[in-house]
Structure 1
C-alpha cells in the first residue's frame, strides 16, 4: 500500500491516504463499473424497444386509417375527433381508391347531398371502425340539423328555443372518489416496494464489498504492517469513509442517469404521451423518497457498512473473505422479509417497535410514514436514535478493531468477537 511507504507522513495525511486508496480501488473495480452501467443499459434497451414498438405501431396505424371525401367541413370535424384514424391527405375519391389498392388505407367515406339530405357512403376492404362510425354519425346529425334549420325558415327566437340544452350540476363535499383513493393506495404500495428493494439491494451489495475488502487485508498478513504505520482507529474510519464515498458516488450516478432518462423519455415521440400521463404518479413516488426517508436509507446503509467492516475483521483467512459478510447479510434478509410481511399492517405492535430499533428503523419507519401511520416528529425521534447508535457503534468498534484484526483464531465469528473485544 502506497501510503505505508512514507513513515513520516502526518496522521491526517495517513487517514486521507487510506480513504483515497479504498475509494479508488472500489470505483476502478470491474464490478463497480458494471453496476454503474447497468441502469444506463436498461434505459437504452427500454428506449430502443419503445422506439421499435412505436415505429411498428406508426407503420401499422397508416394501414388502419380511413379517408373522407366530398365534404371538407365534415372531414375537418372528424379529424378533430379521430385524427389518428383519418387520412387527411386524401382529397378526391380517385386518391382514396388508389390508396385502398396499395393497402395504405382500408376504406373511405364518400359524402354527398341530395334533396336537402346528407348522405354518407362507405367503400372499403374491411368494416368501418366502430369509434369512427359513431363519431361520423354524430357529426352527420349535427350537420343535418344545421341544414334543416337553415331550410326551415325559422326565426331567431325559434332557433334559440331549439338550441336550449339541459343543465347538469354536481356538488361533492369532502369526499374522495374511489378511483382516486385506489390510485393513491397503488402509488403508496409501489413506493413501499421500491423503498424495500433499494435498501435490500444496496445493503446486500455493500455488506459483501466492505466485509471482503477488510477480510482480504487481514488474510494477506499486511495488517501488522498497516498498524505499525497508523492506528487501528484511523484504518477502520478510513475504510468506512472510502466505502461510503463509493456508495454516494454510485447513488449520485444513478440519480443523474434516472433524471436524464426521464427527461429523454418525456420528450421522445414514442414515449412522451405515456410519461406525461404518468407524471403525477412519478412525482408522488419521488416525493415519498426525497424527504426524511432518504436520510433513513443513507443512514441504514452506513450501519450496514460499519457492521460489515466488523464482520470482515472476524474471519481468520483470506479464503474466507466471501463468507465474512454472512452475519450482516442474514440480518438484512430477515429485516427484508419482515418489512414485506408487515407492509400492509405496519401499525401493529411489532412494526412500531422495530421502527425505533436502530438496526431495523431504516426499513420500518419510512414504511409507517408513507402509510401515514407515523408523523414527522416520530420520524425525527427515530432518526436521532439511529444517528446516536451509529456514533456509539463506530466509537466502540474503532476501540476494539485492533484486537479484531490481529486475532487469527478459527473458532467461529462469535468467539473471535469475544477475543477481539478482550484484546489489549
Structure 2
C-alpha cells in the first residue's frame, strides 16, 4: 500500500504542477472574471446614472425623491445647475416637476431617452400625486375618501410545474451534462496519453521489479482521482465566492433577486447525488482510458490511445441530448442503469423527477461495482499489457489484452 501511495502522490503532484492543469481549473474563473470586468466597465457609474429633480414646489420635489423609487441626486436643485451637470455627463438628465392649474406634470430633459423602468416609476408617482390633489379639490368626506382608497387585489395560484421549475431543470441538465462531458474528455486524454507514453519506454521493466503492476496501476488511478477531487473542491469554493459576489454586486444583485428561486433549484440539482454520479463516471472512464493507453505499443500512438473512450463519451453525450425532452422514455430508463450511460441519464431522470432515490442508489451501486471490478481486472492484467510490445493493431492488442490472466 505504501508503494501505491508513492505512485499516487507522484502522479498527483506532477500533473497538478503542470500549466495545462492550472489552466483547466482556472479557466472558468477567468471567464467569469472577464465577464464581470467587462460588465462593470460597461455599466454606468451610479452617480452618473442618477437624475436631478427640479421644482419650485419643495414638498413635491421631496415627495418625488422619497417615494418615486427613481435613482435621484439632491445636488442640483435648479434648472441651470442640472443642465450644466447634464452637459458634463455627471448625470443622465433632470426632471422638472410642476403643479399648475390643479394638474401635476413632469418633463424630462436629457441627451438620451429616459430608461423605461424610470419612466414607469415617474408615471406612477404622478398618478398618485394627481389623485391626492383631486381628492383635496373635491373636499370629500372621510367615508368617501376611504371608499376611493380601496385597491384591487391580485393573487397567483401556481401549479406544481411552473415555468421556473422548467427553467431550473433545463439549466441544471445542460450544466451537468456539459461539465461531465468536458471533464471526462479531458481526464480520459490525460490518463491514456500518460500510460501510453510510459509504455513506449523501458522504465516499466524497472518499475515492475520494485512493485506489483496492480499497485502501480491503482496508484495511477488514485492520482488522477485526487486531481479530479481537487478540481471539484476548487470549483465548489470558487463557486461559493462567486455566489456571494453576485448577491452583493451592483451588476448582478438585481438579477440574483429576480431569479433567486431558479438559482436555488439549480444549485440543489447540482449539489446532490448527481455530483457523485459525475465523480464515479470520471473514475470509470479513467480506468478504461488507462486500459486503452496500455494497448498501444509506440510513443507516437499515445495521442490515439484515448480515442475509443472519447468516442464512447461522445455517444453517451449525444444520447443524453437526444432524450432531454423524453426523460420518462423506456430507453432512458433502461440505460440509466447501464454504466457509462448512467452518469448522464440517471441525473436526467432525477432532475425531471422521473426516478426515485432508491432507483438512483441502485444505479450508483451498479456503477461503483463496475468501477471496482474494472480496476481489479485491469490491475490483474496490467503487467502483461505494459510489457507487450508486439504490433498487432488496436483490435489485435485489445483481443490479446483481454485474453491475459
Q: Give the Cα–Cα distance (whole angstroms) in 2 for the partners of residues 95 and 332 of structure 1.
A: 66
Q: Is the contact made by 2:52 and 2:73 (CA closer than 8 Å) also made in structure 1? A: yes
* 1:354 CA drift (Å): 0.6
Q: What is the match of residue 284 of structure 1?
A: 265
Pair 131,167 (structure 1): closer, same or farther in 2 beyond 3 Å: closer
Q: Give the Cα–Cα distance (whole angstroms) in 2 for the partners of residues 224 and 375 of structure 1.
A: 49
Summarize the alignment of residues 257-406 of structure 1 with structure 2, pairs less than 5 Å apart.
Answer: 257-406=238-387
Q: Is the contact made by 1:107 and 1:128 (CA closer than 8 Å) also made in structure 2? A: no
Q: What is the match of residue 7 of structure 1?
A: none
Gaps of 5+ in 2: none
Q: Is the contact made by 2:67 and 2:125 (CA closer than 8 Å) also made in structure 1? A: no
Q: What is the match of residue 111 of structure 1?
A: 98
Pair 184,396 (structure 1): closer, same or farther in 2 beyond 3 Å: same
Q: Give the Cα–Cα distance (whole angstroms) in 1 for the partners of residues 374 and 113 of structure 2.
A: 73
TM-score, structure 1 length as denominator? 0.86
Q: What is the match of residue 27 of structure 1?
A: 16
Summarize the alignment of residues 22-421 of structure 1 with structure 2, pairs less than 5 Å apart.
Answer: 22-54=11-43, 56=44, 58=46, 61-62=49-50, 65-84=51-70, 86-96=72-82, 98-99=84-85, 104=91, 106-112=93-99, 117=102, 120=105, 122=107, 124=109, 130-131=119-120, 134-148=123-137, 152=139, 158-165=141-148, 166=150, 168=152, 175-176=158-159, 181-421=162-402
Q: Is the contact made by 2:7 and 2:223 (CA closer than 8 Å) also made in structure 1? A: yes
* 1:355 CA drift (Å): 0.3
Q: Is the contact made by 1:407 and 1:419 (CA closer than 8 Å) also made in structure 2? A: no
Gaps of 5+ in 1: 1-11
* 1:134 CA drift (Å): 2.1
Pair 252,307 (structure 1): closer, same or farther in 2 beyond 3 Å: same
* 1:37 CA drift (Å): 2.0
* 1:21 CA drift (Å): 0.8
RMSD: 2.6
* 1:159 CA drift (Å): 2.1
- Could you tell which deviates more after superposition, 71-80 or 400-409? 71-80
Larger Rg: 1
Q: Give the Cα–Cα distance (whole angstroms) in 2 for the partners of residues 101 and 43 of structure 1.
A: 35
* 1:343 CA drift (Å): 1.0
TM-score, structure 2 length as denominator? 0.89
Q: Give the Cα–Cα distance (whole angstroms) in 1 for the partners of residues 356 and 223 of structure 2.
A: 34
Q: Give the Cα–Cα distance (whole angstroms) in 1 for the partners of residues 262 and 274 of structure 2.
A: 18
How many residue pairs were aligned? 399
Pair 147,232 (structure 1): closer, same or farther in 2 beyond 3 Å: same
